[in-house]
Structure 1
Amino acid sequence: MQTLNLSLEDLRPFADLGTTVEETDDGLSVTRNGETLNIQKTANGYSFVDTLGAPRHFGSAAQVLLQSVFANLPQVARNQSILLSPQSTKRIKSGPVPVTLRMSEVFGGAAELPIADTPWKSLDQWLSAQQAAQAAESISLLLLDGPAGVGKTTIIRETALRRAENYDGSDPLILQIASRGRVLQNISDLIAFALQDLRSNLTVAQLVPLIRHGLIILAIDGFDELSDPNGFETAWSGLNALLANTRGSATFLLAGRETFVSTTTMQRQMKAVDPNRGDRLASLSIADPTPEGAKAWLLAQEGWSQELLSGRFVAPLFSQGSYALRPFFLDVIAQEPKSLAEDEPPTSDLLSYLVEVMIRREAEKFVDTLDPPDGRAAQVIYGAYVARFLEEVARDLAENQYEALSDDALDLIATVAASGVVPDDQIKAVVQRARTVVFLSNDIQAGHVRFAHEQLLQHFLAREALRSVGGGEIPRYIRRNFFGRESLDVFGHVARDRVDETKGFLAAVRHGLARPSRDRTHTNLAVLGVAAMCAAAPDGQSLSLEDLGISDLHFPFAAPPGITFRNVAISILHAAAADIREVNFKDGVSIATLELDRNSLLADPMPRPNILVWSGATITNPAEIEQQLNSPTSGENSQASPVWPDDLMELLGRIERYRPFWLRVEGDTGHERDQPGQKIVDHPRWPEVFEALKQLNLVTIRGLGASGSRSDFLHFRRDIRLAEHLEFHKRLVS
């Protein structure tokens, strides 16, 4: 890496208020903390006399800026090490979940990703090699993409911790910033939050020259969440301004979902990045571990056995493409092997299933610890208490826009949640036990706890929203916060598991939309209402949305009849794998960005977006958008895709969206089907489709029950797409 000269712009943010940085015959003069420093340019770098009268010599401008009189980066490194250590994965003796990493060069050159025993060691070594080869006056960017829960945040955090613990000034520190539903959605605000967490005296303005000189790498975690009513306009504008101001030896990491933090999107949106000026762009794709790798990792954890992983309903959980392969899921479930010991068929999505079995497990622990006289009845009470307690924790975090709670606040919430649920004489003991539930973990701030993962927070917040809004209350987080795609997806799955409660929620949404609002209430009720409509699919009910500006709109399941939009501006419509044919788009509907894939089924008529994101590609040309929307099967492999009759295509679409769940197909042991499952079984073509699925080994079937009472459950394979399976098509159509 070529070094940069020290400039007036570098020192101005560090100068005392009311003073200026001046050029001298042999360098620069700056007043810092009441002392005037004359920084001289020498043949070998820079020198100045410190406040104690001792001459100091430095080989580069960067070495000057990291000193205690300016940025004091050694102290920042010590603080960062203390801050991040409590969340380190070093507690896992067998190492981290074995995710799959793939490095790709987009332009400008990219070093080969080293093979190491942890992903963060690989990333750390790669960043060092990449920075060593960086051209002068350039920008280097790395995109980290992957689905939610795959470990992007963990990899960045562990790399930052590794740099902080080994800091000697030779490699830059990593400052990780993230947006988690806060109202403040611009990059400067997020940098200020991160510096505050570090107890650093640095300002946002002072960070700019540190990034420019390669002393700090800025990692923007969850860049896809920095949206606004104009899509990502504000976020892209802020990023471009920051890139332009830090051109030199700057390195940035951008992490997010693969759809919206893609290389094509980056090349189109980042006007400040120019390959002709030596800028570089590379992509690190993070994928789930293989089923074999995930199971091998679990077997290395305490309490796990081959017998447990081979259970009738446990084994199919760890198939290719399953949510159970997400590192988040594996990391949480690894701590509680007994939660899967009953080998039950998941009656909901895997996250909800995980939560329910672990709540039950926590209730058992309460019984074991407290030894109440009525053990089995008390277990039900304790389970209800754990759920209510975590819902209240999620609400408090969301309303205050925090990521962690102090122990005192947690005790107060635990006490309030116990009122009316737990017998009065047990409340004190229950409150003491509450802080140890597996869903919570220690925060980086001492004396604080947080949810073990963002997905768990979103799950319990969704439960709380259904309960409170359905009860006629509009919580503060509904009035103020931002609900992105991941939040809406989790909400939809939670609502799907609580159909009766969801219908009450929808009634409250319609009532709330009819009342005036000057905050985000209408916007949030609208997007949550759409997700709830898709989840419950209520017959004869409608949801009319008018005169709104919506940031993120997501359909977690097929849209039922009755959803109408009129005079609505939609920033991003997430319609990948969505069936929105029943949605009515009336006059005045505009869409800034439309996300589609080959599984999308669109409404007719469908408003034309300004930007179309199609299977990772970004299209802005209106003619190309029109062509793509008029021929949605023109994507990859379209020539090999067979043509299906409408009735079979409808059924296959329902099956595609039912892949995460187990479907009861025969028998009756008290396991009721949900509405989407019932519509599959009631479809007139289902018997022949079911027979073809069995013949071609495209489903997993498990039986449950004894003594003459039995139910058969099936699970659709995730590693193939039925609509493209030629033999399957031949059996049903040819």
Structure 2
Amino acid sequence: MTLITAMIDREAQKFGKDIEAVTTSESRAEFVIRVMEEVARDLAENQSNAIPSDTLTWLAEISAEDIVPASLSGILKNRSGVLAFLKDDDRRGYKNFAHEQVYNYFLARVTIRSISQGEIPKFVRRNIFGADFLESFSEVFRSASGDDSENFIRRALENFNSLGEQDRARQNIASLVLSACCVFTPSEVPVLRNVSIDEVFLTETVTHLHLQNTTINQLSAAGADMRALHFDAPCAIYSLIADGSTMPHPSIPTPTVVSLPHRTTYDPEEIGHWLQHQFNASIFRSGQSLSDAFRDFGLFDLLARVARYKPYWIKDGDEKGARRILDDENWPALKEILVTHGLLIERTDVPASGRPAPFYHIKNRTALMNLDNPDEAIGAFFSDVFEASIKLEDSTD
């Protein structure tokens, strides 16, 4: 996503002196974004992978109306056909996105904007949202402001609760809310009920959510911490894609099939044993279970969020996921232990927009997510976190 935003800024500098004289860099970047969003919308609504050049020109003309005088709109229209995000299609006179990730990025943006404005686009009503798009959606949602994120969740839930079952809108909105709540904590706990969802993608640390009378065909949750996702009966999951670091809530319904990195099982008994293991894996000599540790100790709860945070750097800025970590009262204590074990890099010279701020990188995050049977070095780190948790607990008594 960082690469795409850098490309947007770069494309905004290529419009020539006439356009630059009457616009700002921000307005030109907004033009690029709006054109690409509308291209993504057109492709999604027509379920096509390429757009006619004359349609692209028309979309650029509409997007240019509020940016430049009519006499200069032709320059923007011409520029739209050579933006780096598009390439020539095999069919003469057609354009398509240079990469599917670019398409998903702009489709996610226009989805957020449309639903936040009270619109339910045709592609939300008709299309099936797959895991690739939902993953991109989650990453794009990460960069939205707190007010915009709150507004999106509010509007999405209003639509979810008022719509019928005549199309896919309710289930797609449910998928979007679930993906959004992996990187944002709404002011009120979302409740999704009476819905059947084709695909759900979860990542990082899911905020507090309730599902009621919900069926999920495929739940992709590799690496996800779902301890705050409550399944209120009756709920059902057909297929769960997971790994050793997936952390489910005890209320999760037993899936029909579980796909792990090295095996897939349909055996209900084996699936039950695997789920029980994920609930109760013990890494402490005291016999304290993993689920008990996360419930009882804030340091371990924070560690779960830190290990699952996807961006390379945790910036001390406004990004919502980073703030969920850095504003936690246990961050100073965890930071000290991470530094002691050589698991944290702190930098202040990382090139970035905005005010100067420290950046943190957590090393060996995969091992920190897989708390079952850690190696000696990681085991020593966990022991120190456990001891610090006990001391913090005693100091508050």
User: Shared fold by TM > 0.5?
Assistant: yes
1:348-427 correspondence to structure 2 within 5 Å: 351=1, 353-366=2-15, 368=16, 370=18, 372-374=20-22, 377-427=23-73
2:303 aligns with one of 652, 668, 686: 652
1:63-462 correspondence to structure 2 within 5 Å: 351=1, 353-366=2-15, 368=16, 370=18, 372-374=20-22, 377-462=23-108
* Cα distance between partner residues in 1 of 2:344 and 2:164: 50
Indicate how the Cα distance of structure 1 residues 472 and 721 shifts in structure 2: closer, same or farther if over 3 A, else same.
same
Maintained 8 Å contact 2:213/2:234: yes
The runs of 5 or more residues in structure 1 that have no matched partner are 1-350, 666-671
1:704-715 correspondence to structure 2 within 5 Å: 704=349, 710-715=356-361
Question: Which stretch of the first structure deviates more once superposed, 473-482 or 564-573?
Answer: 564-573
1:684 aligns with one of 307, 310, 329: 329
Maintained 8 Å contact 1:404/1:443: yes
Residue 643 of structure 1: how far off its partner (Å): 7.3
Identity percentage of aligned residues: 29
* Cα distance between partner residues in 2 of 1:684 and 1:547: 37
* Cα distance between partner residues in 2 of 1:478 and 1:710: 39
* Cα distance between partner residues in 2 of 1:435 and 1:399: 20
For residue 308 of structure 2, what is the amino acid of its counterpart? R
2:207 equivalent in structure 1: 560
1:664 equivalent in structure 2: 315
Residue 591 of structure 1: how far off its partner (Å): 0.8
Aligned pair 1:549/2:196, yes or no? Answer: yes
2:183 equivalent in structure 1: 535
* Cα distance between partner residues in 1 of 2:240 and 2:301: 22
For residue 587 of structure 1, what is the amino acid of its counterpart? A
Where 2:34 maps in the other structure, the secondary structure is helix
Residue 554 of structure 1: how far off its partner (Å): 1.4
Residue 483 of structure 1: how far off its partner (Å): 0.3
* Cα distance between partner residues in 1 of 2:279 and 2:364: 21
Give CA deviations for 1:215-262 in whole Å, capped at 9, x if unaligned: xxxxxxxxxxxxxxxxxxxxxxxxxxxxxxxxxxxxxxxxxxxxxxxx
Residue 557 of structure 1: how far off its partner (Å): 3.5
Aligned pair 1:476/2:122, yes or no? Answer: yes
Maintained 8 Å contact 1:558/1:578: yes
The number of aligned residues is: 369
Aligned pair 1:504/2:157, yes or no? Answer: no
* Cα distance between partner residues in 2 of 1:733 and 1:584: 27
Give CA deviations for 1:47-78 in whole Å, capped at 9, x if unaligned: xxxxxxxxxxxxxxxxxxxxxxxxxxxxxxxx
The runs of 5 or more residues in structure 2 that have no matched partner are 388-397
* Cα distance between partner residues in 2 of 1:435 and 1:445: 15
For residue 536 of structure 1, what is the amino acid of its counterpart? F
* Cα distance between partner residues in 1 of 2:81 and 2:339: 47
Give CA deviations for 1:105-145 in whole Å, capped at 9, x if unaligned: xxxxxxxxxxxxxxxxxxxxxxxxxxxxxxxxxxxxxxxxx
Maintained 8 Å contact 1:381/1:422: no
Q: How much is the aligned-residue C-alpha RMSD, in angstroms?
A: 2.7
Aligned pair 1:700/2:345, yes or no? Answer: yes
Residue 467 of structure 1: how far off its partner (Å): 0.7
Q: Normalising by structure 2, what TM-score?
A: 0.85
Maintained 8 Å contact 1:659/1:716: no
Maintained 8 Å contact 1:628/1:634: no
Q: Which has the higher helix share?
A: 2
Residue 372 of structure 1: how far off its partner (Å): 3.0
Aligned pair 1:515/2:160, yes or no? Answer: no
Indicate how the Cα distance of structure 1 residues 497 and 489 shifts in structure 2: closer, same or farther if over 3 A, else same.
same
2:275 equivalent in structure 1: 629
For residue 115 of structure 2, what is the amino acid of its counterpart? V
Where 1:711 maps in the other structure, the secondary structure is coil
Residue 472 of structure 1: how far off its partner (Å): 1.1
* Cα distance between partner residues in 2 of 1:510 and 1:395: 22
Where 1:534 maps in the other structure, the secondary structure is coil
Residue 710 of structure 1: how far off its partner (Å): 4.7
2:392 equivalent in structure 1: none
* Cα distance between partner residues in 2 of 1:436 and 1:617: 46
Which structure is larger by alpha-carbon Rg, 1 or 2?
1
1:675 equivalent in structure 2: 320
2:395 equivalent in structure 1: none
* Cα distance between partner residues in 1 of 2:224 and 2:25: 40
1:37-76 correspondence to structure 2 within 5 Å: none
1:593 aligns with one of 239, 243, 250: 239
